[in-house]
Each structure stands twice: as C-alpha cells, then as structure tokens.
C-alpha cells in the first residue's frame, strides 16, 4: 500500500487527527529568514517555567525536548500579546483562539480532543503540542527542525517559512539555558 502524499491543509490536519499514515512534502527555503523580529520578547519565554514538564512529556512521546522548547520559546516570546488582553473582556469579546504556552488553537484541533479547558492546564497544553509535533515529524521524509516547525505554525506549509528558520536558530542557541533550563 502506498502512503498518500498530503499537501493540502485540511488533508494534513485529518491525518494528524486520525493518526493515519501520510507524507507531508515540504522543501527547504534558502530565503527563509531566521532573524529575531523586533517584537520578540525573551522576557516572556515560559520555557524555564515548564522545563521539567517539557522534558518529561517530550520523552514520553519520543519528541526531542529541545524542539518542544524552541517551539514554546517562539510561541511565548511572539505570542505574549494575548496577556495584554484582560480575561474579563474575553467573556464579552472572545478574541483569543489559541492558548499559550504552545499556542494551540482550541477550535481548530478539537477533533484531536483539545478543549479550551484542557489547554488552560499547561501540562495538557504541552502534551497536545508535543503530540502534534510528533505526528508532523512522522509524516516528513528526512524531517528537520525548520520543516517540522514550519508545518506546526501553518499545517499547509509546503516550504520552510521564516517561522521555521527562526525556530531552528532558537533550537541551536537555546536561550532558555540562561534561565536555568538545561537540556
């Protein structure tokens, strides 16, 4: 039986949710920019706070903990803006669609078992993020940090994005080590 090649966003999502075999094609991109954007705020990183959970959960699912840390670093240093939006406003004007620290979109991934309540628990938030990373990684021939991260950020990515290139740089520099999280 030939493994299907899936490059459409919805088909890829279905494969991840159902955990069915597939190949996600994604090419390198020498033009992808891995530089830190002006709004990256290292002080907002939650990697140090959840270091132990990241290592435990990543190892449980066979994912490189540094990859999980690099993704969480990106999501919390680039997605901190949601903290500026008061919780009481969420009840009246629901704008948040994803929840940190892994920045998972709870409605998009509901078929995977994700709920808003489960994502509000950092342990489950990290675990769902790691499961998604694992399933992406399993579907890429010769997976790289750049490729996995690009698809994590946009499930329909067909070439490495700036996000993927930045995650790769963060993976290599490990800025969380300065805050006591050694991996």
Identify whether 28 is part of a domain.
Answer: no
Identify whether 66 is part of a domain.
Answer: yes
Identify whether 4 is part of a domain.
Answer: no
**113: nearest Cα among 124, 121, 102:** 124
At 27-38, the pLDDT tens digits run 999 999 999 999
Identify whether 42 is part of a domain.
Answer: no
In three-state secondary structure terms, 63 is coil
Give whole-number Cα distances, 16 to 7, 95, 119, 132, 139, in Å.
Answer: 13, 26, 18, 7, 9
Identify whether 9 is part of a domain.
Answer: no
Identify whether 37 is part of a domain.
Answer: no
**106: nearest Cα among 89, 120, 93, 92:** 120
Identify whether 117 is part of a domain.
Answer: yes
Confidence bin at 104 (pLDDT 50/70/90): very high
Residue 148 predicted with pLDDT over 70 = yes
pTM of the model as a whole: 0.92
Q: In sequence order, what are the beta bridge partners of 105?
A: 98
At 60-96, the pLDDT tens digits run 999 999 999 999 999 999 875 555 555 555 555 555 5
How many separate domains does the chain show? 1
Identify whether 20 is part of a domain.
Answer: no
Q: Which domain holds residue 155?
A: 47-173
């Amino acid at each position: 039986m030939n493994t299907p090649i899936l490059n459409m966003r919805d088909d890829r999502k279905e494969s991840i949710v159902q955990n069915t075999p597939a190949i996600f094609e994604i090419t390198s991109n020498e033009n992808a920019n891995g530089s830190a954007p002006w709004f990256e705020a290292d002080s907002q990183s939650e990697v140090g706070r959840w270091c132990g959970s990241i290592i435990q959960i990543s190892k449980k699912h066979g994912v490189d903990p540094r990859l999980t840390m690099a993704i969480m670093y990106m999501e919390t240093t680039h997605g901190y803006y949601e903290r500026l939006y008061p919780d009481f406003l969420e009840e009246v004007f629901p704008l948040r669609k994803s929840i940190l620290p892994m920045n998972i979109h709870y409605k998009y991934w509901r078929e995977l078992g994700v709920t808003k309540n489960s994502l509000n628990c950092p342990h489950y938030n990290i675990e769902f993020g790691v499961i998604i990373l694992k399933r992406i990684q399993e579907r890429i021939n010769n997976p790289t940090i750049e490729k996995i991260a690009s698809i994590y950020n946009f499930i329909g990515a067909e070439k490495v994005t700036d996000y993927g290139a930045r995650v790769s740089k963060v993976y290599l520099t490990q800025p969380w080590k300065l805050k006591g999280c050694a991996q």
